Amino acid sequence: MASLLHLPFGTWTDTFVSVGLVSALPLLVTVIMARQEALLRRWLPQLTAFGAGAVFGAAVGHLIPESLEAGQSPLAVIAGVIAGYIAFALIERALAGHDHAHAHGVPLGAPSAHDSDISEAACVHLHAHDHAGHHEPSAHGATAHHAPALAPMAFLGDALHNFVDGALIAAGFLMQPTIGVMTVVAVGLHELPREVGTFGMFVHSGIRPMRAVMYNLVTAGVSLVGATLTLAVGHRMASATMLLLPFAAGTYLYIAQVVARAALRDRHADPAHWGRLAWSAGGAALVLAFAVGGA
């Protein structure tokens, strides 16, 4: 494996241009969606369901197979998945407690003072939903009130996933330019549905659309960090990142479960439940198809 000193300048440029392109396309799509806010809000339950399916597909079709291909033992992969799952279960528990404690202390009219960090944004979303005046109180209410930690979890999961993807692209280019390009195509294809779905989850939890775009921009920056570290450190960093793959998969399985749990809770009250289930299946199928096709 090439070390930093032996790298031609091209590997860095190729990697950064690739990571930039892979991040720019979903960002562009989410900016367009954020500007069509009425349309976005109408399709938000479907988009959130789609996002849950997409992250499930990314875990099952992309992160887990990738870690097995990298030579990790199935037992180690299962342990990593469980660790990621439990970590996010604990985070949700912690944030849900926080949300409850502060729910009545957040001024309704001034969310900007409070949603400067992501966990405060989760706090504010209960009120954001109260004021949104949407037509599906049961669907939104169930998700909002039973999954207060969805936005921070979606953010952390997205950041983790992007770090891994950036590192994978860099590792590909470190091995061979063709492997790098193949990785970019594989990552780029599943990235679009996954990032758009994550954007839906952000907005669904009460984050304003343009702020949700900013969150996507920040997590896009994390893939540059993953790529830079991998290029600079080389092979050892790539191996360390491989250990993160099952953990990242576990966090995504947990996020998918959170959305599914909220949807199941109001399946009697909400006839649109089955439609959203179809959107989830669509999100998973899209990412799985691209993950398998790109591998």
165 belongs to the binding site for Zn ion (CB under 5 A): yes
Shortest spacing between CB 281 and Zn ion, in angstroms = 19
66 belongs to the binding site for Zn ion (CB under 5 A): no
Shortest spacing between CB 105 and Zn ion, in angstroms = 38
**Choice between 4 and 21, CB closer to Zn ion:** 21
Shortest spacing between CB 72 and Zn ion, in angstroms = 17
**Choice between 115 and 165, CB closer to Zn ion:** 165
- Residue by residue, DSSP assigns 223-272 as HHHHHHHHHHHTHHHHHHHHHHHHHHHHHHHHHHHHHHHHHHHTTTT-TT
Q: Angle, to 10 degrees, between the axis of helix 177-204 and the axis of helix 209-233?
A: 150
User: Cβ-count burial of 151 within 10 angstroms (0-12 exposed, 13-18 middle, 19+ buried)?
Assistant: buried
What are the tokens at 267? 């399946």
Residues between 215 and 244 that touch Zn ion (CB under 5 A): none
Which among 15-23, 41-49, 162-170, 195-203 is the span making contact with Zn ion, rule CB under 5 A?
162-170
Which among 45-53, 158-166, 210-218, 257-265 is the span making contact with Zn ion, rule CB under 5 A?
158-166
| Spatial CA neighbour of 111 closest among 95, 97, 127, 133 | 127
**Choice between 120 and 165, CB closer to Zn ion:** 165
Shortest spacing between CB 46 and Zn ion, in angstroms = 22
Shortest spacing between CB 61 and Zn ion, in angstroms = 10
User: Cβ-count burial of 221 within 10 angstroms (0-12 exposed, 13-18 middle, 19+ buried)?
Assistant: middle
- What whole-number distance in Å separates Cα of residue 254 and Cα of residue 277? 17
**Choice between 19 and 203, CB closer to Zn ion:** 19
User: Cβ-count burial of 93 within 10 angstroms (0-12 exposed, 13-18 middle, 19+ buried)?
Assistant: exposed
**Choice between 55 and 91, CB closer to Zn ion:** 55
Q: Angle, to 10 degrees, between the axis of helix 235-265 and the axis of helix 44-58?
A: 140
266 belongs to the binding site for Zn ion (CB under 5 A): no
Shortest spacing between CB 165 and Zn ion, in angstroms = 4
**Choice between 150 and 169, CB closer to Zn ion:** 169
Instruction: Give the footprint of Zn ion on this chain (CB under 5 A).
Output: 165
